[in-house]
Structure 1
Amino acid sequence: MSTDPHGTPGPATRTTRGDWIPSLLWTFAVLGGVVALVLPRGAADEGMARSLSTVWVTLLLLAAAFALAPVRTKSARDWVRWRAAWTSAWLLFGVHCVVSILGPLGGSVSAMFDTPLVSSPGFNLLLSAWWTVDVALAWVVADPTESRRAVHVQRSGLLVLLWIAFLVASVVQGTTTARFLGGAVGTAALAALAL
């Protein structure tokens, strides 16, 4: 593995030739996002349908990120795979937030505090901001061995909180599809930890 004197991965560890999984995740994120935005056309409530379909794609990408989380520090290849899944899920979650604000919430961010559609809006905003900072750290502090303890500790905490938040939102409060996908996310995370 190529690293500079500070332990930061060099160009040889940032990209892994022949590894198709990150490309597949990025492609799925783009195509999944487009389909999630276009598919609900003609639905009785297009805004709500778009909100649901974008969070479903997010759940699928989160399942991949949670499954890869325990091995993300094992090698540069695992790091690149995990970072692609983590960033893709974050991007689609951002699309979900925008679509939800413009659709079911009528373009008002403050409306999320007055609707039963959003559980724990303050916590959700805090978690979204934390996730945004962590995605930036995953790209700026690109150290697959995560020798920076503070980054590792905060990321582990975020992974646990996101897992709980998405599991509760999908399994307890979600539609049948969301319950299934939330169960898949929960199972992927638990299976990855067991391995």
Structure 2
Amino acid sequence: MITDPDGALLGRTPGLPDDVFEHDGLITKRHIRACALALLRPRAGELLWDLGAGAGSVAIEWCRAADGARAVAVERVPERAARVAANAARLAPAGAVRLVEAGVAEALDGLPRPDAVFIGGGATSSLVERAVDALPAGGRIVVHGVTVEAEEVCVAAYRRWGGQLARLHHEHAAPIGRLLGWTPARAVVSWGHLVEGSR
């Protein structure tokens, strides 16, 4: 596996190849991850909550993208939490990613206030509301989902707070016998929001 905590080998622009991360398939895929980070807009010294971190790819790329950026990656499944830790050790600046091995709901109360939040799976209306409430003015939130239930959460959030609602589709070229064709990935519903005003 590649080791590149300072970005000297792979650069700092979001959208690292999926295969540089240890994962079990539960990872925000490269093209979708780049879209999420474009909305999250990492800035120097800011803190991201990556809730339901999976492989930790969003938290790690957040930390690589801006000097002094930090992330708290919350993951309840022990095997996935171990992968987050291993990926962060190889690909993020030292100490930039803090792993919290717990369910998201019980972890939130003990976390420092974020500048941005990413929810990559398992979004519920109550979780989104808690995340939005934790953000300061200028804070950003991005929620992704592939299920009908997650889509309903994103649509409800869009209706309540505004922001940007999109359905992201991507396809990869793959062999079909001796020929080449397109293999579609699951569509991802994305809601992104910038918190405005004083809080």
Q: Which has the larger radius of gyration?
A: 1
Question: By percentage of residues, which structure has more strand?
Answer: 2
Question: By percentage of residues, which structure has more helix?
Answer: 1
Normalising by structure 2, we get a TM-score of 0.26
Normalising by structure 1, we get a TM-score of 0.26
Q: Which has the higher contact order (CA 8 A, sep 6+)?
A: 1
